[in-house]
Structure 1
Amino acid sequence: MEENNKIEKYIKLLEANKNIILTGAPGTGKTYLAKEIAKAMDADYDFVQFHPSYDYTDFVEGLRPTPPDSNGNIGFERKDGVFKAFCYNAIKCNQNPSVNKSASEALKAFKEELRSKKNIEIKSFRSNTMIKTSLSSTDCISVPDKSDWRATDEKMLNYIINNVCHENDTYTKSIGNYIKEHYMSGYQDESLDNNIKKFVFIIDEINRGEISKIFGELFFSIDPGYRGVKGMVKTQYQNMITNESDPFYEGFYIPENVYIIGTMNDIDRSVESMDFAMRRRFAWQEVKAEENTGMLDDLKEMKDEVIEIMKRLNNTIWNETTNTGIEGLNAAYHIGGSYFSKLQLYLNEDHTNKKSAYRHLWENHLKGVLSEYLRGMPEAMENMKKLEDIYFKEDVNADIEG
């Protein structure tokens, strides 16, 4: 019950802000927690890990080589990056087939009436101006007073179904709204549907990538206040999208039902790579070592014992209650549960070799990271001995079993 309440807290924070970053000491289970949040939301989720070589082409879109043709020539084509493909799926997944069918039938009925009447006058959504519509020789909806304007079926359906059109395109929006109102009985804007499927995109170690290079113009759209069509931006490869039925034909936007969770360690040297403009687009939540111990469930009867050892080790590093500990360190240097979950690598099935497993955990995992923490500090050797002694307190400091 307590674990569920914690997850619920994070879900409310994410739903309110659209973007959150889980930060804290290494190994506190931030990635594990991000996935648990997505599962608890019953959301589809994807996972990527940023690194120094990750860029816009990987994340948003870019040119990719095509297989050699019959003459052995290699070309290039525009391909969606992982995040843009994710947003595309978030839109398509929530399109109700009955709405799609209804939209197609409504457009067909509107065009049949145009053929019969030759033209229909539609009030502009911006003013009291009447827009005279007709059909062109190519069966596109046209506005005779605006000879260079045409709307293919794909363009109209993209607006009717996805609500997507250029912000200055008065004609598409006015005509599309007219079709919805007069030809789609019971039409409902799907963005108002409370049952809409949620999508969570998890970015592990978000600070290890060059944020401005990866997000590009999405720097604007990522803002929680600009979700949906109102946050549409023209991408660097916008002119290469020629399919008018593509929901991003007019520009790319992050759908309302897409949420982003980033994770990062407080003490990473790359923390400073995230500038303040990007920081303010996320809500930040610290994940402490002792509050996220669900990853230790597989240790079964040993879980409580392991948590106690983790607590006393972390209190020696830095005790947040008394504000005492090793000079130069703080709670950001605590050891999280994911380190202790590695005990499973060394435990036998009935856990009779746990003393040996504790020793292997210290030698192979904890000692190295603690040595790195203390590197170059005064009394490093003495403090390492103190940490080792508190870890191997009498209850586990027995002879090592084979």
Structure 2
Amino acid sequence: MARMIEFQPLYDAFHLFRERCLQQDRSLIWPDQAIWTIANLQRWKTQVSDSPNLEGELNFSEKLEQQLVGAPPILWGLAADLHYIYYLPSANLKLSTRLRNIGWAAQKGGLSLPSEQDPIWAAHKKGFTTTAQKYHFRYAQLHLLAAFALHLKEQGNVAQTLADPPLVQSILDEILESIPGKSNRAYDLRHAILYLMFPDQYERIISTTHKEKIVSRYINLVSNPQTDLDTRLLQIRQSLASTQPKGQSFDFYEDLKQDWNPDEIEPPPQFVPKKVSEEPQKDTIIVSDSLRLLKRFKNLILFGPPGTGKTYWAKEIANRLVSPQLKQVQSKAAFLQAIIEDLVFYDILALGMYKTGYDKKYSVSELEKLELVQARFRQSPVKNPPNQIWGYLQAHTAPESQTVKLALHAEPFLFDKTENSQWFLTPAGKEYVQGTLTDRLNLIKQGPPATNQPEDFMRWVTFHQSYAYEDFVEGLRPKTGQGDSALLAFEMKPGIFRNLCTRAEDDPDNQYVLVIDEINRGNIAKIFGELMTLIESDKRGVLSVELPYSKEDFQVPVNLSIIGTMNTADRSIALLDVALRRRFAFLELSPEPKLLDPISISLTEEDALNIGACLRNLNQRIVELRGADYQIGHSYFLPLASISNDADKLVCLDDIWNYQVVPLLKEYFYGQSDLLRQVLPSFFSLDDVQPQSSGDPVTLHQEDLVAALNKL
């Protein structure tokens, strides 16, 4: 069954809704109030459901206020109860957001909410599913709830109807079909109502598309294909449940999603800049300009405020310089990920068993340790790997198995097990791997191609205040003597720059690159020393100098390029050493808010936050008060681009803002809290939340953070 113990408070709350509201006409929140009467529901239908469109750009709350003008206060109590039920499924929204909106409706009706410690709110600590943006179109959801209640009461025999799951399902479907326009039909809440009311018959899935995908994937387990979608889903659950170890349940999301919906299994978001520009030529311009400047000057510095992608672009440009002389080679981990790409889990199990030894027998724990299986779990982690492995092995055993007794077996039939629970590939399983998976098998046998890596032709170094000529070019380093004397001696050691120059000189047909991150943090004149002249493009391969430690002649080869990155918040370009400025070309990278315009977070229709607009507003204030060198770059927020779910975006934004952006702003305006207050006014003007000190902005999270950023 789909019932989960962690959602028991939700089932209990919905049971209260059935008893108090649907059967007894009483309020869910205020049980002494007769709120859910036919008269009140009919008035709601007339004033709200049948009059959804009002002139002007109003949000839901403003529209509802206009719709309920002249209505008795008790209708606001109905609005509060409706919101209570509407919020139950969502795992996205915090309790504070729910209480704020429910409390707003209660206040309009002159009602007081129970305290936050009241048991009535226990169900709102955790929802059972992530709700998408469409679910937060409140008009459609509340309309379905109110229409469902009115239909039940007008038909009579409410208790008898609510005891009949197929009848309740048909009533909900009838109501939805009667609503003009599919966009106004709350199919997601329909699924949620059925699950909360009958968790033993319905799934915790509020997406019709997901239900259809599951049925399509396991259609061979459906005993009667002529039944409706939810009935077929129940037949599939009953069949799959018989494959589980005794006492263990399963969930279509947590345990099986990569089987029925592999396209939506995403790796964890990577916190690197992502190309999301609506102008794809922008990426090409940065690289092409850099390559042109390097060809002419040999030395280039990418400069700009923090978070403008300087280090990212330095790597891209370096890779582009060396890419013609190598073929991309993959790491072992990346190679394994390429092997399992697009494979379903039973393919991975079969391929892993064949690769390790197709005549071997395995326990479930041994299968979990197979390289390909581990690669899949790195790509798509699950809570209980052994449970998933067991389920797939059981489902894909041969029907003639003497040790696995199932009512239905899923094709292809690949596995079987011994009496002592050791699993193995059947002859049919071996043929399957040799036939269907032959391309993957051949790739495994060949292994990664043995070619050069970009790192063979480049080196990275980060300058800092204590970085010296001896680290960069050459110098004496202490060396402990051997034997009884163990005298301290010194030896000359070449630095990273000299080593790379020597390699480039010995390999004149290939390009080499040195990337110096944070080049302006070091003492450039001392680090480069006499080599400052040698790095000029017209001195390369022509002029040489004698090095002070080794006394050897040294020159900088023509096939070595130097790329530096410079953070203007640390030091303005105007303050750089004049000698350095003459020998480097400079390419400015500015914040690009337009790259963030496609990114928004929409938890409710009132609280949509556009990240691009937010960054523009923030930087406008910073430029006015501190200067352009201190702007916040777009790359801080680019991790949001790879996240499709608003709830996950919100968590990511919380981390970015509170642990990256705010500390940077505090550093910019250290000791100048009056200026920081002008940059972040909405983080100082909250009545109900106080900062830790008068000079610090309030630390906000989740929906409160979105609301404050919207006010910038």
Per the normalisation by structure 1, the TM-score is: 0.59
- The structure that has the greater radius of gyration is 2
Matches for 1:169-248 after TM superposition, within 5 Å: 196-228=509-541, 230-239=542-551
Q: What residue number does 2:679 align with?
A: 383
- CA offset at residue 232 of structure 1? 0.7
Q: 1:397 to 1:238 in 2, by over 3 A?
A: closer
Per-residue deviation, residues 35-67 of structure 1 (Å, max 9, x unmatched) = 100111226211100001100100000112234
User: Paired residue for 1:365, among 660, 664, 678?
Assistant: 660
Matches for 1:322-401 after TM superposition, within 5 Å: 327-341=624-638, 352-375=647-670, 376=672, 378-385=674-681, 397=706
Q: What residue number does 1:252 align with?
A: 554
- CA offset at residue 357 of structure 1? 2.8
Per-residue deviation, residues 281-340 of structure 1 (Å, max 9, x unmatched) = 1111101121896xx9xxxxx96448x945323422445xxxx86532333222223322
Q: 1:368 to 1:337 in 2, by over 3 A?
A: same
Q: What residue number does 1:265 align with?
A: 567
Q: What residue number does 1:151 align with?
A: none
Aligned partners of 1:93 and 1:56: how far apart in 2? 25
Per-residue deviation, residues 65-102 of structure 1 (Å, max 9, x unmatched) = 234222322322211100000101111233xxxxxxxx
Is the CA contact 1:207–1:273 (under 8 Å) kept in the aligned structure 2? no
User: Paired residue for 1:17, among 290, 297, 309?
Assistant: 297
Q: What residue number does 1:52 align with?
A: 465
Per-residue deviation, residues 238-267 of structure 1 (Å, max 9, x unmatched) = 43xxxxxxxxx4x11110001111111112
The answer as to 2:472 corresponding to 1:87 is no
Aligned partners of 1:312 and 1:379: how far apart in 2? 21
Q: 1:292 to 1:384 in 2, by over 3 A?
A: closer
Is the CA contact 2:520–2:576 (under 8 Å) kept in the aligned structure 1? yes
Aligned partners of 1:326 and 1:76: how far apart in 2? 51
Aligned partners of 2:538 and 2:624: how far apart in 1? 42
Aligned partners of 2:629 and 2:502: how far apart in 1? 37
Aligned partners of 2:613 and 2:684: how far apart in 1? 11
Q: 1:349 to 1:337 in 2, by over 3 A?
A: same
Aligned partners of 1:335 and 1:67: how far apart in 2? 48
Gaps of 5+ in 1: 95-195, 240-248, 297-301
- CA offset at residue 197 of structure 1? 1.1
- CA offset at residue 343 of structure 1? 5.5
Q: What residue number does 1:69 align with?
A: 482
Aligned partners of 1:33 and 1:292: how far apart in 2? 18
- CA offset at residue 365 of structure 1? 1.8
SS across alignment from 2:545: coil
Aligned partners of 1:223 and 1:395: how far apart in 2? 54
Aligned partners of 2:594 and 2:568: how far apart in 1? 16
- CA offset at residue 211 of structure 1? 1.0
Q: 1:314 to 1:325 in 2, by over 3 A?
A: same
Is the CA contact 1:29–1:292 (under 8 Å) kept in the aligned structure 2? no
- Among the aligned pairs, what percent are the same residue? 36
Gaps of 5+ in 2: 1-279, 324-456, 602-608, 686-699
SS across alignment from 2:488: coil
Q: 1:86 to 1:236 in 2, by over 3 A?
A: same
Aligned partners of 1:303 and 1:63: how far apart in 2? 54
- CA offset at residue 215 of structure 1? 0.7
Per-residue deviation, residues 116-140 of structure 1 (Å, max 9, x unmatched) = xxxxxxxxxxxxxxxxxxxxxxxxx
SS across alignment from 1:315: helix
- CA offset at residue 348 of structure 1? 8.3
* Equivalent AA in structure 2 for residue 356 of structure 1: V
Is the CA contact 1:211–1:274 (under 8 Å) kept in the aligned structure 2? no
Q: 1:83 to 1:342 in 2, by over 3 A?
A: same
Q: 1:396 to 1:236 in 2, by over 3 A?
A: same
* Equivalent AA in structure 1 for residue 669 of structure 2: L
Matches for 1:289-328 after TM superposition, within 5 Å: 289-290=591-592, 304-305=599-600, 309-319=610-620, 327-328=624-625
Q: 1:337 to 1:45 in 2, by over 3 A?
A: farther
- CA offset at residue 279 of structure 1? 1.0
Is the CA contact 1:47–1:203 (under 8 Å) kept in the aligned structure 2? yes
SS across alignment from 1:66: strand
- CA offset at residue 29 of structure 1? 1.1
Aligned partners of 2:461 and 2:576: how far apart in 1? 17
Q: 1:277 to 1:237 in 2, by over 3 A?
A: same
How many residue pairs get matched? 272
Is the CA contact 1:221–1:253 (under 8 Å) kept in the aligned structure 2? yes
Per-residue deviation, residues 163-185 of structure 1 (Å, max 9, x unmatched) = xxxxxxxxxxxxxxxxxxxxxxx
Aligned partners of 1:219 and 1:386: how far apart in 2? 49
More strand by share: 1
The answer as to 2:346 corresponding to 1:34 is no
Is the CA contact 1:266–1:332 (under 8 Å) kept in the aligned structure 2? yes
Q: 1:368 to 1:343 in 2, by over 3 A?
A: farther
Q: 1:23 to 1:69 in 2, by over 3 A?
A: same
Aligned partners of 1:325 and 1:336: how far apart in 2? 12
More helix by share: 2
Per-residue deviation, residues 136-166 of structure 1 (Å, max 9, x unmatched) = xxxxxxxxxxxxxxxxxxxxxxxxxxxxxxx
SS across alignment from 2:651: helix
Aligned partners of 1:291 and 1:260: how far apart in 2? 29
Aligned partners of 1:348 and 1:5: how far apart in 2? 27
Q: 1:348 to 1:337 in 2, by over 3 A?
A: closer
Between 1:213-222 and 1:269-278, the stretch displaced more is: 269-278
